[in-house]
Amino acid sequence: MSVQIHVILSLSLFITFSLCVIQMRILIISIIFALLQQGNGQNPKAHWTLLPNILVLQVNGALGQHPLTCLESAEEVMRRDDKGQEIIWKKNGVEEDQRGNMYLVELEESLGGGNYTCHNKDGSLLNHTVVLIQEDKTKTRKILVKSDQEDYLICSTQNYNGEFHCSWTWHPGRVGKVAFIRNQAKLSTPCSVDTSGQQWTCSSPQGDISCSVDGSRMSCRDKQHCPYAEEAQHININVYFKTNHFLVENYSKYFYLSEIVKPDKVKISKVNGTTLEWSYPSSWNSPYSYFPLTFQIAQIRRGCKKCSNSCTHSKAVTTMLVNSTGSCQVNIKPKVEIVCIRAKDALCNSHWSEWSHIRKDKNERKHHKNKGQASQ
């Protein structure tokens, strides 16, 4: 009996010693890596987890390495017969030469990103990590293209209901897809995504925003927004885009809804041959006395035949601004061919709506001309 107890104690001590050795090795590797990271010219410069099993490495273009771990705990390694020595690694489905629980990602310039998987000797999957590379900002070739407004993300809203839209233009040679969205500057308030990868929900003390992505556009809604209250917090949208080459770039937009509001087109109707009436867009908030609009009316004698929009490219005979809380009318001047009307929030310096226009038919213009000649 004493011999059996001695054997059991010996085995127990051996297992404990083995676990300590493995844990010590992991600790030593971690310390060495940390020391390397503290040196000058370190690469990667930083790393963080974007989503579970998605790792971002910020690189500076120099040679570097970053370790990946297949089995996280020493206990998992000890339960294996091969003590982790026969773990196989693959990058993008292609088997690598490196073996074991630890794998070193080789970094050079913008290379090193990929889908890294570790497997048992029989090929069964143990773990996976998608490594995305974020290049130094001074060397980045942008995935998106700047607009005429000198911005990559263009955001707007048609009213104060808490909904807004953001769009972007892909660079022809670097088309990607949305990899991650968050509504704050810090990664401590991430968004969650559904299985489709298109519907995001971002919750924070400042707001509860849900976004859906469709190609080069996303539509968002702040469920806590009150249109009748003063906006106390900016909306801070950060979007990460991933290319097919495992490069990632982030773009941000920081705004109040009042800064990006752009009303829908004004409704114009004809009262008679010389009078037009217009009204607020149906999507605009009411009451109009609390959400007033300013209207701009341009009367154009002759439209530009080669222009896509005569309202923006033709010289107006007269232009006037009108503040109104309801429907309005305007008299059409003689010899005018086109009347254009647009609107903007009267209480803030926001965007004008697109032009709405109505064109006189030839009979009405002829009637005006004959009437003017008769009066002479």
Cis peptide before 227 (omega within 30 of 0): no
The pTM score is 0.73
User: Has residue 301 been placed in a domain?
Assistant: yes
Co-location of 126 and 160 in the same domain = no
Co-location of 302 and 325 in the same domain = yes
> 128 - beta bridge partners?
117
Co-location of 279 and 302 in the same domain = yes
* Nearest one of 348, 227, 355 to 295, comparing CA atoms: 355
Domain final residue pick, 135, 155, 185: 135
- 159 burial level (CB within 10 Å; 0-12, 13-18, 19+): buried
Co-location of 153 and 223 in the same domain = yes
Domain final residue pick, 202, 224, 259: 259
- 202 burial level (CB within 10 Å; 0-12, 13-18, 19+): buried
Co-location of 291 and 220 in the same domain = no
Co-location of 150 and 237 in the same domain = yes
User: Has residue 23 been placed in a domain?
Assistant: no
Distance between CA atoms of residues 299 and 355, nearest Å? 12
User: Has residue 282 been placed in a domain?
Assistant: yes
Co-location of 125 and 149 in the same domain = no
Asked whether 123 and 149 are in contact (CB, 8 A), the reply is: no
Co-location of 75 and 161 in the same domain = no
Q: What are phi and psi of 69, to 5 degrees?
A: -115, 130
Co-location of 64 and 92 in the same domain = yes
| Enclosing domain of residue 83 | 46-135
Distance between CA atoms of residues 48 and 284, nearest Å? 42
- 126 burial level (CB within 10 Å; 0-12, 13-18, 19+): middle
User: Has residue 36 been placed in a domain?
Assistant: no
* 18-23-28 Cα angle (round to 5): 125
Co-location of 236 and 314 in the same domain = no
Q: How many domains does the chain have?
A: 3
Co-location of 275 and 229 in the same domain = no
* CATH code of the domain in which 77 resides: 2.60.40.10
Domain final residue pick, 92, 112, 135: 135
For each of the chain's 376 residues, which pLDDT tens digit applies? 454 545 444 545 555 545 555 555 554 555 444 444 444 457 788 898 888 899 999 998 889 999 999 988 888 888 887 777 889 999 999 999 999 899 999 998 888 999 999 999 889 999 999 999 998 776 667 889 888 767 899 999 999 999 999 999 998 888 888 888 877 655 555 577 777 777 777 766 556 788 888 888 999 988 888 899 888 888 888 899 998 889 999 899 989 999 999 999 999 988 677 888 999 999 999 999 999 999 999 988 876 766 767 787 777 677 889 888 887 888 888 888 889 999 999 999 889 999 998 887 655 545 444 444 444 4
Distance between CA atoms of residues 107 and 87, nearest Å? 22
Co-location of 109 and 178 in the same domain = no
Q: What is the pLDDT of residue 295?
A: 94
User: Has residue 187 been placed in a domain?
Assistant: yes
User: Has residue 131 been placed in a domain?
Assistant: yes
User: Has residue 189 been placed in a domain?
Assistant: yes
User: Has residue 7 been placed in a domain?
Assistant: no
